[in-house]
Structures are given as C-alpha cells and as structure tokens.
A = this chain, B = another copy of it.
Amino acid sequence: MNFNENLEIKRKEAESIVKSFLPEADGYNAKVKEAMDYSVNAGGKRLRPILMKESYKLFGGKDKKVEPFMAAIEMIHNYSLVHDDLPAMDNDELRRGKLTTWKKYDECTAILAGDALLNYAFEVASEAFDLVNDLEGYMEVAKAIKVLSTKAGINGMIGGQAADIEAETCANVTEDMLLFIHKNKTAALIEASMMIGAILGGASPKDVSDMERAAKNIGLAFQIQDDILDITSTQEELGKPIGSDEKNNKLTYVKLHGLEESREQVKALSEEAITILEDIADANRADGSFLMTLVETLINRSK
C-alpha cells in the first residue's frame, strides 16, 4: 500500500471517529444540531486528528482514549471555520466548494452551531475520563484537556485570529507580529494535536515539549509554503485564486524575506521537525515512517 492509499484510509478512519461523537439531530434544537453536523461533515483533510493518532502511536498508545480528543480537535477546527466565515468576519459564502454554514442556514444558526461545536469539544474530550481508571490516567487526560483549551484559546488559536484581524487595519505589521499570528492561528492546533497524542501515549514532559517544538515548526513551514504557493502556483494547480495576499495587501513571510530565503526557511523548519520526530521514534523503537512522510508531504506540497 502506498502512502496516499494509507493516508486515505487514515482520513476515513478519523472521519468516522469524529462523526461517531456528533449528537443526534433530533428535538427542539434539531436545526442547530443539523448545522453542527453539516459543518463537520463538509469534508476536509482531518489532518489534526490524524497527526494526533500518529503521535499517540509513536509513544506506544494503543487504546481508545485518544478518540474523544481526535473528535474534539476536529470540532474546534471546524467551529473556527464556521465563525471565520461569518459576514462580520471573512464573509465567505463557499468553503471546499460547498455553502458555508451561515449561507446554508442563517447567521444566527451559524453563531450558535459554532458555539455548540466549541462547547461540545470539551464535553466530548471529558468523556476520555471514562476510559481511564487510575490516578496516572486521570492526570494524563487532565493534562490533555489543559493543552487543548490553552492552544485553542486567547493565548492560542483565538489569539492568533484576533491579531490577524488587528493586522488588517494596522499600518505597520512587524515580523514579530506576523510570526505571532502564524504561530497561534496556524501552528497552535497542530501543536495541540501532537502534544495530546504524546501525553495520552505516556510521553515524558521533555518528549511532550519536543513534540510541541516539532509541531510549531510544521505549522510555520506549512504557513510559509502557503504564502509561497500563493505567488508561484497557478490557479489551476492550487484550486483557488492565486495572488490573493498581494491583492489584499497582506504582509507575508515571502514579502519580508523573498522567495529564496522563504524556501530555505521551509526546508530548515521541516528538517528540524523531522529530526525531532526521528529521534523520538528511535528512542521509542516506534515506526514513525508514516508520520514523517505525512509531515514532508504537507510541507513540500505544490497545491
């Protein structure tokens, strides 16, 4: 089985785990439940739950306690898209070729469905407590919930989104601010995914911190590659309009450092991430080959 077939199997597996945690769309609040379902089932690469599961396996994790967190991180990712698409935010009518949640239903339902998905993420994550039975198990799940809430919140993803909106009306966006946005808006949930996988797999604090560093590199490299493709790719290859950063007068890493240095930076960040993952895989005598290929594929993608 080649990498792409394997990835597709893992994507489907992650998707079915996420779906299994969604509430039944019945009762007087059925419309918002339907909108939650619509938002989560609108497709996507399911990258975060896959990264979490693979990180979990790197540390020998085998049982089901990672599954509630796989669902939770995907719900948080999806609620952020539902709210980002709102008219008061990015005012997007299409995502992945389908109507966005507010366009399919209405603004009010989309606001509530986003709130419900964010809240439900913590409801689902705390179900993991039912799958452990000793102090060590409780401590791991508690630590995972802390990481999930911190990385998703005002000092993580929401903070990055808040700064990104500030930057749009800001005359002087500095490199420091740009890195703050990338680190939080893009990297924080990837960090959460890989750290939670590690924590539930029983990783040491040092290993969790190494996974955080690898994930941060992956997130930053992913974002810079995105900016590079916005310039070098064709609309056909990318499947979405190119040059949008230029058009929106958006400061990017590429604008600050040029294409060549940006490509070198992507290479340096990804090599460091791979080295960290290799060391951890070796130390745990684990097969990290799928995870490392996934990281390389993500970063070196041409679309």
Contact = CB atoms under 8 A, between A and B. Distances in A.
Interface of A: 23, 27-29, 31-33, 36, 79, 83, 86-89, 106-109, 111-112, 114-116, 118-120, 122-123, 126-127, 129, 134-135, 138-139, 141-142, 145-146, 149-150, 152-155, 158-163, 165-167, 177, 180-181, 184
A71 B77 CA distance: 25
Given A142-B141, A146-B126, A162 B32 contact: yes
Given A134-B135, A149-B119, A112 B28 contact: no
A100 to B, nearest CB: 14
B135 A123 contact: no
Nearest to A177: B28
B123 A153 contact: yes
A91 B138 CA distance: 43
B36 A154 contact: yes
A141 B162 CA distance: 31
B28 A180 contact: yes
Nearest to A181: B28
Contact of A154 (B33, B89, B134, B167): B33
A116 to B, nearest CB: 4
Given A28-B162, A88-B107, A123-B153, 16 more contacts: A28-B159, A28-B177, A29-B158, A29-B166, A32-B154, A32-B158, A32-B162, A88-B88, A88-B108, A88-B111, A115-B158, A116-B153, A116-B162, A120-B154, A129-B142, A138-B142
Given A89-B111, A112-B162, A123 B149 contact: yes
B115 A86 contact: no
Contact of A138 (B88, B116, B139, B159): B139
A214 to B, nearest CB: 23
Given A145-B145, A162-B112, A154 B23 contact: yes
Given A154-B33, A161-B112, A119 B120 contact: no
A171 B34 CA distance: 21
A35 to B, nearest CB: 9
Contacts of A23: 154-155
A166 B27 CA distance: 11
Contact of A152 (B79, B119, B165): B119
A31 B166 contact: yes
B153 A119 contact: yes
Nearest to A154: B116
B119 A158 contact: yes
A175 to B, nearest CB: 12
A232 to B, nearest CB: 28
